[in-house]
A and B are shown apart, each in its own frame.
Chain A
Amino acid sequence: MSDRFTITVDGREIPAAPGQTILAAAQASGIYIPRLCHMDGIEPVGACRVCTVRANGRVVAACTQPATASMVVQSQTDELVSWRRQLVEMLFVEGNHFCMFCEKSGSCELQGLAYRLGIAAPRYESIWPRREVDASHPDIILDRNRCILCGRCERTSRDLDGKHVFGFVGRGIHKRLAVNARARLADTGADVTDLAIGACPVGAILRKNRAYRTPVGDRPFDREPIGAPVETRAELTINGGPAS
């Protein structure tokens, strides 16, 4: 593309294209900016703010902010890492997260980020909210205790599955995940093959009868931190030849 330009992320100059977000540009060059509410393939919304960076000094969400020519981005600074830690800790105490028996443990992105950020325990007092579990669907379980309100299921169901199974109700601390039926997930059009089911970064939406199949030690975040594949892929590209 002729109108490509460069930006710098933590002092490294990388290519970017008009309309490309900071997060996408960084990722293409093997720089992992932590994120929870964003995943590749769906529209970014900037809900969780874990990807917060400074772009030309301004605090922005890297998943929604478009890169512009010569933009100077800071990501791995003490200040920003400390904010990310606080955000992740707040997500832990706002829900009911019991990693020791959760089926998602080892592949949970919230847990993976806490590991990567070096969180030993949240510094805040837990809220211990009462949240509803919906086990009505024969193949899917919806456990709101673990929901971090990232909206990945909602966007995936709407944009990729074309179904609108999930949505949010309430505001602020009362916000919760709802389903497109009078009450139960079983009465929606949700199917176990929906992409929305796999879009959940935590253990809030899970396929039934698949628990604990991967032995401890072999799970995605047992050996490598979350984001490592982004960083490894880039290394392979760089070693494989000059970046085009």
Chain B
Amino acid sequence: MSKPRIATCSLAGCFGCHMSVLDIDERLLELVDVVEFDKSPITDIKKFDGRCRIGLIEGGCANEENVAVLRAFRRHCDILVSLGDCATMGGIPALRNLVPIDECFREAYIDGPSTHNPAKIIPRDVELPLLLDKVRPAHEIVRIDYLLPGCPPSADAIWAAVTALLSDKPIDLPYQLIKYD
């Protein structure tokens, strides 16, 4: 029987949650014995190769590309896990939700103290993904099966969650592993 596949992505996140995945240290060897990594920044595989058992979602949705990737993950994965505060609550990128979007653009491209843009052009190229009105947690875009908060979730929390899911057991995290920071 083929090994279950795991896919991961970093949407509007900082890759800190992926660092925490790597932080499971030597248990990574145990993991690759029992799973195959599909689309993931860890393998640098860009496209889904097949049906995945678990999709780990880092980051919320800040733009249309994040939404497209997240929807692709929902289509290709049996179980989606929101990994970390950005995916579960919006996180640091959601700080821009406190500022109207045109003000964000002006600050980024025109008024910023280190910005040189004498023509005062705000880029509107089709190559650039359109920003959403607000940064949104993953579960506001697609159905998410499990939420694992933390900034980032600790390696132990990720390990406990992934191994439970792979063995069809309920995720039962001890109090010390649930953190919002």
User: Which residues of A does B touch, CB under 8 Å?
Assistant: 92, 96, 98-102, 105-106, 111, 114-115, 118, 120-122, 125-126, 128, 130, 145, 216, 222-225
Contact = CB atoms under 8 A, between A and B. Distances in A.
A145 B99 CA distance: 13
B94 A128 contact: yes
Contacts of B36: none
Given A121-B139, A126-B90, A115 B178 contact: yes
Interface of B: 82, 85, 88-92, 94-95, 97-98, 134, 137, 139-140, 146-149, 151, 175-176, 178-181
B150 to A, nearest CB: 9
Contact of A99 (B82, B94, B146, B151): B151
Contact of B92 (A92, A100, A105): A100
A206 to B, nearest CB: 16
Contact of A120 (B90, B98, B175, B178): B178
Contact of B181 (A96, A100, A224, A225): A100
Contact of B180 (A96, A114, A126, A130): A114
B151 A223 contact: no
Nearest 4 interchain pairs by C-beta:
A99-B180, A100-B151, A120-B147, A121-B88
A92 B88 CA distance: 13
B158 to A, nearest CB: 14
A126 B89 contact: yes
B17 to A, nearest CB: 12
B98 A126 contact: no
A99 B148 CA distance: 14
Contacts of A106: 181
Contacts of B181: 99-102, 105-106, 216
A102 B151 CA distance: 12
B97 A115 contact: no
Given A120-B147, A121-B137, A125-B140, A98 B178 contact: no
Contact of B98 (A96, A111, A223): A96
Contacts of B89: 92, 121-122, 126
Nearest to B85: A100
Name the residue among A111, A115, A128, A223 with the largest chain B CB count within 10 angstroms.
Answer: A128
Given A105-B180, A118-B178, A100 B91 contact: yes
A109 to B, nearest CB: 13
A114 B178 CA distance: 10
B168 to A, nearest CB: 20
Nearest to B97: A128
A121 B151 contact: no
Contacts of B176: 222-223
B45 to A, nearest CB: 28
A130 B178 contact: no
A72 B179 CA distance: 35
